Amino acid sequence: MNIPGDLKYTKNDEWLQIEGNTGTIGITDYAQDQLSDIVFVEVLVAEGDEVRQGDSCATVESVKAAADVYMPVSGKIIAVNEALADTPEKVNSDPYGEAWMVKLQMGNPDEVAGLMDADAYEKYCAEREH
């Protein structure tokens, strides 16, 4: 399981990459593995939308399940990965790269303190395997 050390993670299996005051969001390798073959991705937010931590920002469907993707932090959406609608399988093959879902200008950087680092997320995933 791939858990990059430079990202932050949520208990709902989203990742957050922070660059200055910008956050990029997607779902983790663990999440895509649990869902298996992703066949549909719908981003529910648009550029310019104000979102709050915990808001649903996307839906991901696989051959066996559907899952909501939640915002790990609050802010204003500045980019949406429109290509995912046509290539949902990228979530399986490149969850931390081409399969990013949204980018936002973080409104409350203090929210990051409540997210897990890679070590904590790895332990959290291992606990759920049992």
CATH number at residue 36: 2.40.50.100
Predicted pLDDT at 32: 96
Q: What is the pLDDT of residues 60-70, one digit of tens each?
A: 999 989 999 99
In a domain, 33, yes or no: yes
Q: What is the pLDDT of residues 107-130, one digit of tens each?
A: 998 999 999 999 999 999 999 977
Q: How many domains does the chain have?
A: 1
Task: Quote the CA–CA distance of 87 and 38 in Å, as a whole number.
Answer: 9
Domain residue limits at 124: 8-128
pTM (predicted TM-score): 0.96
In a domain, 72, yes or no: yes
Q: Is residue 4 a contact partner of residue 115, using CB atoms and an 8 Å limit?
A: no
Predicted pLDDT at 118: 98
Kindly report the backbone phi and psi dihedral angles of residue 54, in degrees, each rounded to the nearest multiple of 5, phi listed first. Answer: 95, -15
| Secondary structure (3-state) at 64 | coil
- Number of helices and strands in the chain (H, E): 3, 9
Q: What is the pLDDT of residues 71-85, one digit of tens each?
A: 999 999 999 999 999
In a domain, 3, yes or no: no
In a domain, 45, yes or no: yes
- What would the mean pLDDT of 14-31 be, rounded to a whole number? 97
Task: Quote the CA–CA distance of 13 and 27 in Å, as a whole number.
Answer: 6
